[in-house]
Each structure stands twice: as structure tokens, then as C-alpha cells.
Structure 1
Amino acid sequence: MKTNQKEVKIELRGETEVVLTRYFAAPRKLVFDCFTKPELIRRWLTGPEGWRLESCEADLKVGGKYLYVFADSKGVKMGIYGKFLEVIVPEKVANNENYATDMSAFNPDGPENPDATVESRTFTTEGDGTLLTHVFKYASSEIRELESGAAEGWIPLCLELDKLLLEIG
């Protein structure tokens, strides 16, 4: 299923999943590293419009935690955090994803959200490049509906990642 390099395909699967696919003109290991190494993530994961990635931590192992903290121009901060559920270098990484809208009250050791989104990203060699298949599995169809714009937010991020891959590839 080769896609145009710039095309992000988004499809709904079942009642609770969204599947995003995107081709990158770079080797699989390099694309995988850009999704898993904090020093590379910081260079392309810009966050929502008007926000910037302020800090990025990732302990890439099953059960390891990650935390991305975004800040806006007024200093308001929000976080995305969770645990890695599956790590197969350089083929696949899966994690749960939670949101912290008030970082001043954030407790990294707090209870897990039973409704956390589960994401899996599979990296498949296709020709000279890599096909990313990113599956978002929501706890319910209602939550998927509330998060309906999340996959579209990946379109500009993929363009940023293209730039980084050209630079370091």
C-alpha cells in the first residue's frame, strides 16, 4: 500500500479505532528513531498550533514511561504521558496516552486512566522508504468522536518530520 510521500491517509476502523498511514522517504531505523529518541522528537514534534514542545522524556522499554510537556506563549503548560506497552526496535512501538491539562497538579506516579488511548506505530520497509501505520484505539466510540481531530493534527507534523529526515538522513 504505497502512498504518495506527502499524503497522510486516515481511516476509521470499527467503532473505536483510527488508522493513519504515511510513507517517509527514509530508512525504517531512522524513522523509528525519530519517533522514540527524545533528542530527535524535540526537533519535529511541534505540538498544537501556538504551542511548542518544552521538554521530552522517554524510557523506551516495556513499562517505561514517557512525558512530553508543551507550553504556549503565555507559559501555560500541558502534558502527554504514558507507558510503553510494546517495543520492537525498529519495527513497532505501542503505548497508552494520557493528557495532563494542568501540569502544576501533575503526578507522574498517579493512577492510570482506564480510558487512556492506546497507540501503536508500526514501521515497515517499503522500497527505499518506510511506511508508518499509526493506530489510535480509543476506549469507546464516544471518545473517538471527541478526539476526531487528533489524526488530522499529524499532517503538519509529518511535514516537519520530512524536513528532519532530509537533514539527518
Structure 2
Amino acid sequence: MPVTDVTTDPEALTMTLTAEFPASVDRLWKAFTDPAQLERFWGPPGWPATFPRFDFEVGGRADYYMTSPKGEKAGGAWEFLEIDEPRGFTVLDSFVDAEGRPAEGMPTMRVVFAFEPTETGSKLVNTSYFTSAEALEQVVAMGGVEGSTMAFNQLDRVLQSLREYAQGKGTRTEILDDTHVRITRLVEGPLDLVWRAHQEPELLQQWLLGPDGWRMSVCEVDPSVGGKYRYAWEPLEGTEGQSFGFDGETLLSEAPRRAVTTEHMTGTDFPSTLNDLNLEEEDGATLITLLIEYPDKDTRDMVLATGMTDGMEASYGRLEGVLERVG
């Protein structure tokens, strides 16, 4: 993971994050000064950022908001105080309300982004300066250390091309914490078609099958927000196993890039998970990222022990065949 250290200093009123990357200072600079690239990592997993405004000049302003899996929004704004390309820049970072005004009761920090060359690439030193110990404690209590760490740890896939990031790795499962797992898979095919393949029953039934020897016997989908879905699978003749299924509801839909659904095993009292699907396209390939939120660590471990990753890799392999035929 890129982040090597996060330190809070109540006497100096600072929080300092350090991260190292196998990329040049110029490349790191571009990632932090191009809003399209910032949107790919600034928000922590499950809270992706959107930058509708980015006036990158001294005295200019950037507005952003992060959207939760349930559609809640948390806003922020930067006022650019200093710019020293490509060594770094300084902003006044504020929490803001829906109208873009500083949020009542929330701190404003001076934040310095410093980029340094290393023997293997570059280093980021990100230092936030607070006006009081109480403001520092407030941000730490809100999960500022954990959120910043998870956000900056997403930078490795921004600094590389998607193909470089995913080369030869197939379906990857990463445990982020006790309740969150991130699954990624690069597929050859355009984003719009990959989105359709996750939404349309006639396409879903061709690839969402798990291991060989199973068929999708039920595929009912209403992809609109508040819409329900139901999937069921049954073994083909000669395959051992019992029929099973999942049902759930769409909580958020931002076509063609993001869809958040609940997932519950039909006919059981198992708790539901929250599945956050995100799609990114580059050079004709689409990176599928599925962030799964489990109710607890035991449920997470139980599901992972089923061989879920292998089943998903088989499905994604079929998906590439579907994309080739349909495209």
C-alpha cells in the first residue's frame, strides 16, 4: 500500500500523511491537479468524489462532494493559497453545506501537498494544519486518519494505466477492513456495454453463472432506484449442489458508472450486504470494482471461504465472451 505513515501531533496541531509511489513527481502532480484523476481516488472506498469546479490558480476554488452508497453527500471546498509546480500546492480546506458555505461547527484546515523525488519514484507529504486541538480531535474522531489512508491507497491504480494495474491479475479480492472487501477485474470492452451487461436480464443470464455446471433459472431485474431484483441458480445434470438465490434492492444508480444494491440470500435470515459497483473505462477496457460491505467480520470470512473469488473469475471470463459477441 502506498501510505507508509499517518501521524497526528496535538502540540503542533497537525496531521501528516506520508505515501510513496513508483512514479515520477510530474506524474504525481498531474494526479492531484487534474479533477478527472482526483475523482478516482480522493474519496475513500464507498465515498467517491466529484469535482464540479476546479479553478487551479492562486485565489481559485475547487468544489467537491463525496457520495455514500446510500446517496448521502458530504461536501468540501479548497481555496488555492500557493502553487509551486511540480513541487506542491497549499489549500484552505473546508467542510461545506449544500450551498457551498462553510459547514457550521466544522473545522477549516490549511493543507500542504508536497511532492518529492525518491530513488524509486516519488513521495507525497500531506500535512493538515488545524486552528485548535479540538479541531484536530474532531477530524480524527470522524475517521480522518482511516479515510485518508484508504483514499490515498487508491492512487496506485490512477498512476498506472488500467491495463498495467490489472495485468495478469484476474479477479482480485482485497480485504480493506473488518467489514469491507474490494473486488476488481479488468474486462476488454467499453463501459456502456459492461454497464448493460450488469443491468439487462438477457445479458446477465449469459455470464453471471459462477462455476461451470450451473444455470441461472431466475433473473428478474428492476435497476431503477427502489427497484427490486431476484436471481436464482440451479445445478445442471451431473453437478452436485442445491439451488439458491439472492434478492435485493437498488439504492443508488448513476448510469453508466455506479450502482449500489443490497444483497440477501433468499429464504434465509442471513443479514444483507451492501454491494457498490463502480466502472472505469480506458483505452477500450473497463475496470470493474465491487466494494462489498458486510455486517461483521464473521460474515465476511464465511462468504470469502466459499471460494467466491474463483466463481467470480469464471463469471467475468464469460462476460468477456459476451462483450465480444454483443459488441
Q: TM-score, normalised by structure 1?
A: 0.85
In structure 2, what residue type is equivalent to 1:142? D
Q: 1 CA distance for matches of 2:320 and 2:275?
A: 21
3-state SS of paired residue (2:195): helix
85, 101, 116: which one pairs with 2:272?
A: 116
How far 1:7 sits from its partner (Å)? 1.6
RMSD over aligned CA atoms reads 2.1
Q: 2 CA distance for matches of 1:115 and 1:14?
A: 18
3-state SS of paired residue (1:142): helix
How far 1:93 sits from its partner (Å)? 0.8
- Residue of structure 1 equivalent to 2:312: 154
Q: Does residue 26 of structure 1 match 2:189? A: yes
Q: Deviation string for 1:63-83 (max 9, x for gaps)?
A: 100001112247953211100
Gapped regions of structure 2 (runs ≥ 5) = 1-156
In structure 2, what residue type is equivalent to 1:11? E
1:1-169 correspondence to structure 2 within 5 Å: 1=157, 2=162, 3-4=166-167, 7-73=170-236, 76-101=242-267, 115-148=271-304, 149-169=307-327
Gapped regions of structure 1 (runs ≥ 5) = 103-112
In structure 1, what residue type is equivalent to 2:232? V
Q: 2 CA distance for matches of 1:17 and 1:77?
A: 27
Identity of aligned residues (%): 29
3-state SS of paired residue (1:79): strand
Please identify, of 44-53 and 68-77, the stretch whose mean Cα deviation from structure 2 is larger. Answer: 68-77
Q: 1 CA distance for matches of 2:216 and 2:300?
A: 24
3-state SS of paired residue (2:189): coil
Q: 1 CA distance for matches of 2:293 and 2:180?
A: 5
Q: Which has the larger radius of gyration?
A: 2
Q: Check conservation: 1:121, 1:133, Cα contact below 8 A.
A: yes
3-state SS of paired residue (1:15): coil
Q: Check conservation: 1:77, 1:101, Cα contact below 8 A.
A: no
Please identify, of 47-56 and 118-127, the stretch whose mean Cα deviation from structure 2 is larger. Answer: 47-56
Q: 2 CA distance for matches of 1:60 and 1:134?
A: 17
Q: Deviation string for 1:53-96 (max 9, x for gaps)?
A: 01201001111000011122479532111001111110111101
Q: 2 CA distance for matches of 1:135 and 1:153?
A: 17
Q: Which gives a bigger RCO, structure 1 or 2 (Cα 8 Å, sep 6+)? A: 1
Runs of 4+ in 1 over 6 A off after TM superposition: none
Q: Deviation string for 1:113-158 (max 9, x for gaps)?
A: 6820110110111222111111111000110010013233211111
